[in-house]
Amino acid sequence: MITVKHYKIKDAELKGLKIVFVSDFHLKKYQTKRFKKIINLINEQNADIVLSGGDYVALHNIDKTLSVETIAEGLSKIKSKYGFYTVLGNHDAGKAETDILKAFEKYSIKTLINNNVIVNIGSENLYIAGVRDIQTGRPNIFKALANTGNPVIFLTHNPDIYTVIPNNVNLILAGHTHGGQVRLPFLGGIIVPSKYKNKYALGLIEEDNKKMLVTKGIGTSVLNVRFNCKPEIVVIDFE
């Protein structure tokens, strides 16, 4: 069962904004109904903006994944006041990336690849920047933040680039780790695909005058099991 995890974050520039953040779908061929439930759960939150950290593909294998056409069509049904924006994950790389981007373009899904968009929120502008995955591509933080003002929300699939993102970014959103997927008391996540291990595995991290929120994500990878680490979508209310 997918949980809805709520965070309240103090930020005067983003006060009153409500964001839903999702990541790591890893949709398998037989998961059409589950995908529809995910979309419905997202829409039930009545978000101002919906953002995604990517990883739509299962097991790095597009042949074992729910068709990218079905994925793109489903994502196009996400409802929010100011739109849906995504980056791609490491599982989305290679041949999958070409197919995904083609399908996303067909359904007008805005994918950030070392660039940014301006979202007009009432009389104010919000900048959403996004980079390529660090494992399978070259994230260019400089290009992603080019010509941005404040406030800025920064999307990265992998949290490991946190340390080199400038601290004038209001919030960094990441996935990839699945929270460790299997978590044991006192030990934390057993499988954390990060050079920092459990340091950036999940939750709200604040250091060096920066904030990053890492979601446990929705699907599973390698092992089709979660323990003490429920799948989640994240709802952020700025105060």
Each domain of the chain, given as residue ranges in start order, spans: 3-238
Total residue length of the chain: 239
> What pLDDT does residue 125 have?
96
- pLDDT bin (cut points 50, 70, 90) of residue 179 is very high
Please report where in the chains the tokens 């695909």 appear, as a residue: 193
Strands 110-111 and 84-86 come out as parallel
- Extract the runs of DSSP E, i.e. beta strands, from 57-202: 84-86, 110-111, 115-121, 124-130, 152-155, 171-174, 183-184, 188-189
Specify the 3-state DSSP secondary structure of 34.
helix
**Model confidence at 116: pLDDT above 90:** yes
CATH number for the domain running over 3-238: 3.60.21.10
User: Any idea which of 19-33, 157-171, 214-228 has the lowest mean pLDDT?
Assistant: 214-228
Quick: pLDDT tens for 129-167: 999 999 999 999 999 999 999 999 999 999 999 999 999
Binned at pLDDT 50, 70 and 90, residue 123 comes out as confident
- Residue of 160, 172, 170 lying closest to 130 (CA atoms): 172
Assign 62 a pLDDT band (cuts: 50, 70, 90). Answer: confident
Q: What tokens appear for 216 in the block?
A: 């446990």
- 159 and 202 Cβ atoms separated by less than 8 Å: no
Burial of 206 (0-12, 13-18, 19+ CB in 10 A): exposed
For residue 223, is pLDDT > 80?
no
Average pLDDT (213-238) is: 92
Tokens of 129: 């920047």
Name which of 24-38, 87-101, 217-231 the model is least confident about: 217-231
Question: What band does 190 get if pLDDT is binned at 50, 70 and 90?
Answer: confident
Neighbouring CB atoms inside 10 A of 181's CB total: 27
- Supply the mean pLDDT for the chain: 95
Predicted confidence band of residue 1 (pLDDT cuts 50, 70, 90): confident
Q: What is the pLDDT of residue 122?
A: 82
**Helix-then-strand count for the chain, H and E:** 4, 14
pLDDT of residue 191: 80
pTM as predicted: 0.96
